A and B are shown apart, each in its own frame.
Chain A
Amino acid sequence: MSDTQDQAEIFGGGATALSDSRSFDGNDVSAIPAFVFGEELADLADRDTRIAVLTADLATANRATDFAARHPDRFFNMGIAEKGMITTAAGIASCGFVPFAATFASFSALLCAEQIRTSCAYPRMPVRIVGHHSGMSMGFYGTSHHALEDLGVLRTFAELTVVCATDANHLRAVLRASVDHPGAMYIRLGRGRDPEVYPEVPEITFGKAVRLREGTDLTIIATGSEVRPSLDAAEQLAIEGVSTRVVDMHTISPLDVEEVFAAYRETGAILTVEEHNVTNGLGTAVAEALFEGGAAGRRFRRHGVPDEYVPVGPPAALYAKYLLDAAGIANVAKELLT
């Protein structure tokens, strides 16, 4: 299938685009699980009456429809009114519910930053702000629909847990673990249908990274959509004799500083990889931890989108342009090591 069709699917795209036979960025991805957000929450809500879901006219895009069909009394479509949605979720949370408020990351995190800080994080409301289609996964929809700054804005807020889901199984794990986590949380998703990293639903702890691959020459610390290509890059590097550790740093705030220092002590270099502006994202958080911990001097590079607005284009083309696909990451890693 063409990348154009894949981009159409973002908005619910019709029966053809939603069928399981479509591919992903030109590849056959019939093995990639569907967007499990609504389904997983509906399953959780079967057992937990606190769970509610809100969206802002994107129920078809984020599959909140799967929740709405099974729990219509706890589903609220707030229309194209994101600030109202986030703050309404805070009001619902104050009455003992755990609401998940989902829309494109560009809107949930950037348009509603003040609502998240003042009415969710500060009063410690258990609102789960779900930002899907983050980074530049909206491709040719352009900068208004890209979210390459959301981690930077939100990791500044005290008492807000910031988590990136890696793939469908990881998203299920994040949603499950989030229900009883204290305070507000931002859950950053890629396209919702992301290539598999976890063959089964993992046990996760927020603030504790997952070491997916061992290595000694280099550690790639990646998050969200960049974990899969980082693993693939590590495969390519192995062929060329470079031993690469890969860490899924799914929680950006609070950061797993111990895992960062393990990489510093045990491997020769650190490369951070994120689908985010290099300013104030994962790489910056890792650099802060290293430098303040007296661990400067190791070869280190933040890899992501440079400090610019990306052009329009199909996502796959953008990942290639910014060296955020497996081949690009491998090249950046080799550059770092020479």
Chain B
Amino acid sequence: MSTIRTEPVTINLGPQHPSTHGVFRLRVTFDGEEIIDVEPVFGYLHRGTEKLAESRNYVQIVTLTDRMDYVASMSNNLAYVRTVEKLAGIDVPERAQYIRVISVELQRIASHLMATGFLLNDLGALATPLVYCFRERERILDLFEMLCGARITLSYMRPGGVFQDAPDDFWNSLNTLISDFPNYLDELESLITTNEIVLARTIGVGLLSDTQAVDSGVTGPVLRAASVKWDLRKANPYEVYDRVKFDVPIGNSGDTYDRYYVRLQEMRESIKIISQCIEQIEPGPVRTETPYFIRPPAGETYSSVEGPKGELGFYMVSDGGISPYRCKVRAPSFINLTPLKDMLTGWKMGDLIIILGSIDIVLGEVDR
């Protein structure tokens, strides 16, 4: 009698795979459908952003930051300009700070919409929820177009403020959006949050415990889903975040469902922040006069903001010249991939896709 022999199979998931959210490559070893080993391979979208920054002046680098996390350019801009302001000691007018917070929170909603939509797409829902998320995201992109003329690569912020004040139309459209948006979120929740199949697929899948999350340096919604209440907007308030009231939603167990649900609640909190900002904002200048060639004193600094995907930080070294001596980016997407192997091992092929989707990576940021 012959015996049946089985052996593990190694599959290259990506870089040209529909569900790796870009050109991410995973070498996965399967035992049947079960994952026994994962080896992520990065670098297919490496464009040398950090090196390029060394040969550009401080204003030009803003455009480079747009292209890192290309679904959340505003947050990248903010993280960068804040570091430059800290390095060069530039003050920012109050109105500019409010506009910055409004635009960054809008960007957070847009980014979370993408994350939620693509998570549902990875669950196999044939793009229908994705398109509904995109419909709302379009409205936010329209607002950005009013602000600065661009929709994706915004370059709206400058060291010292924002490059122009928001037009009058913007405020009307913004008011309509924030009054509509909670209803839209309710609709999305009624479709997804209680869907039996979504629950069966996501609850308890891809667990990341709080110790694991903290040990591996994970930040953002992935960390908060693991019940760790850590948010830079509260822990180290920047801009005007100390003047607005909002909650930091957290999850229970750190499974895929929690990561989805935390993002959904964060969108609601962002709406709260925006509406408070609209009430508090007052007319005034939106940009401090700075020379085109900013020459910060020699020194180094690190500054970070709470981006949609986690702590987005810039470490910059200045030698007193017109361009930085070194510009290092702490990219949340990249660092959130650290516990990937622990999260994936033991789960099935279908779970791999949704766990990766729930971490919400953007390859432009992972590879830079």
Q: Do A and B come from one complex?
A: no
